[in-house]
Copies of this chain bind each other. A is one copy, B any other.
Amino acid sequence: MNSRYKDDRIEGIWSNDNKVNLWQKTELAVIQARANLGIIDENIFDQIHKCLLHQPIDIAWWLAKEEEVKHDLNAFLEERLRFLPLELQPYFHNGMTSYDTEESAFLQMIFDSIFVFDRHVEVLCEVLKTLALRYRYTIMNGRTHGQEAQLQSFGKRCLTWLQSINLTSEYLIKARSTLRQSKLSGAIGNYGGLNHEVEKEALRILGFKPFYGATQIIPRELFAPIAQALCQLVLTLDKIAIDIRLGARSGRPIYQEPFGKKQKGSSVMPHKKNTISTEQMKGMARMAKSRFLSIQENIETWEERAIEQSCVERVEWPDLFHIAIHCLKTMIRVLGGLKVYPDNMLLEIEDSCGCYAAGEAKEFLRHRGAPFGLSTEDAYRIVQLSAFNAFEPEDWAQEMRNSPHISFKEADNDFFFLRPRKKKEQMSIKEIITRRILQVSPQLEANQECVDRWNNLLKTVFESHEAIIMWDTIFKPSYLLRGEETLYREILGE
């Protein structure tokens, strides 16, 4: 992994040094297990233990020997046997196959990496909870299909982010629990060299239980779901990152990534505050998916095993952890330092001409209007028309839509005179409907007769004062957001 995206602790876990020490730990555990079970003398274990711990493993020697024998574990054994007197040698790696030694080490490395990963997930969740509470009453447009939909608080959006993470975390917890199974059952998994009692005891010492039904290796079905869960968490982070990018689009951003006081956004455009960190999440997600895919493909192996999965596991697991943790760190930094603009959120709602309550308005009309013959279809079409009316372009704009500029000069000119053109005050659907001033729109099917009928129906609906008061109410944020309390209670226990 490129050094920009590396995590030091992951680097350490997957280093040669850590790996061979874990191998030695397994070798020793097997000898100790035999001693505990009375198969060999306790004394033998003590001597071997002392010999080996006294002599740190010489990584360079080991790599050179591997070059010669083309087998990393055999090279390791030769390195270690150098320090054992002849009479102790038969007790070392006795009846074991390479993957008896390597499997537990590999499992431990994944396990330890997940531990590092989890610490970062926890921090990120705390950041999101803090955001959710801080912005519990900060209202904004919820958006579906990029369009303003209904109101929500920004805190609630943070809660949905949090829950997406929690969902994946749960899968990870489930998947991870399977990692405490390992094997010491010999070259093809039927206890050719070690018996089952030794396996059980040695694994107990190492913190594992036996997996029954291994071949030379534990089937890689065990690992793929864990990689998927890690990858999925990165995909969730990218999903959150996209939401930040969308909200940070210039014009009227509702939030932005933190920007350093000495930062430069672009070599050519000094005004830029680019969403570089959140965009990087997408690239990272691409790589996380790829790493997972390689790991999933490791399920395929021939008969009692072949070695295809080895290079993949050497490269893709540390890569996946580096990627995932880099993403977590980035999102902790971005969300922890997020610049939030409640003012712009409000201005955006204001400009939406009341459409944020269109759903409520439709329900209002069909319930109130039914007694007067206003059908569900009428209610729908009335609110739709009012919204289209509200956003009908001014004449100069319509003109420009019909006849685009035919030279840049013309564009210069119109641009120069743009500001003075008075912007028509827009009317909200709230007013259009109560004032029953629906108009025919060129964009919709309804003709004048139909529109007249609707305006008349509206007159009846709004005859009562109580109807008008209720109508006012449904446009109030506090009314519209009354349900969010449930989410805070259920998710944060507040």
Is the Cβ of A156 less than 8 Å from the Cβ of B190?
A: yes
In the complex, whether A392 has a CB less than 8 A from a CB of chain B is no
Say whether A303 faces chain B, with CB atoms less than 8 Å apart. Answer: yes
The answer to whether B287 and A187 touch across the interface, beta carbons within 8 angstroms, is no
**Distance between A198 CB and nearest chain B CB, rounded to angstroms:** 11
- Taken residue by residue from 215 to 235, chain A's Cβ proximity to chain B (1 for < 8 Å, 0 otherwise) reads as 110010110110011011001
Taken residue by residue from 188 to 208, chain A's Cβ proximity to chain B (1 for < 8 Å, 0 otherwise) reads as 111111011000000000000
Cβ of A384 < 8 Å from any Cβ of B?
Answer: yes
Tell me, yes or no, whether A119 is within 8 Å of chain B by CB. Answer: no
Q: Chain B residue with minimal CB distance to A385?
A: B270
A170 contacts across to B, CB distance below 8 A: 178
B410 and A137 contacting across the interface, CB-CB below 8 Å: yes
Interface locus among A31-39, A41-49, A277-285, A450-458 = A277-285
A343:B397 contact, CB within 8 angstroms: yes
**With A81-B377, A370-B89 as contacts: A415 and B252 at CB distance below 8 Å:** no
A149 adjacent to chain B (CB < 8 Å): yes
With A188-B152, A271-B429, A370-B89 given, is the CB distance from A279 to B262 under 8 Å?
no
Known interface pairs A250-B148, A401-B342; A306-B279 also in contact (CB < 8 Å): yes
Additional pairs, 10, CB under 8 Å, beyond known A96-B267, A145-B276: A81-B375, A95-B359, A144-B266, A250-B352, A251-B348, A264-B384, A274-B307, A287-B311, A290-B290, A342-B404
Q: Return A420 CB to nearest CB of chain B, in Å.
A: 11
Please tell me if the beta carbons of B418 and A376 are within 8 angstroms of each other in the complex: no
A78 near B303: Cβ-Cβ < 8 Å: no
A28 within 8 A of B: no
**Which of B1, B78, B143, B168 touches A221 (beta carbons < 8 Å)?**
B168
Whole-angstrom CA separation of A159 from B221 in the bound complex: 15
17 A-B pairs whose Cβ atoms sit less than 8 Å apart in the complex: A89-B366, A90-B376, A96-B267, A97-B267, A134-B404, A137-B407, A138-B411, A143-B304, A145-B272, A146-B306, A147-B275, A148-B251, A167-B219, A243-B303, A249-B249, A251-B348, A268-B362
Give which listed residue, B2, B163, B262, contacts A213 with CB less than 8 A: B163
Closest chain-B Cβ to A174's Cβ sits at a distance in Å of: 5
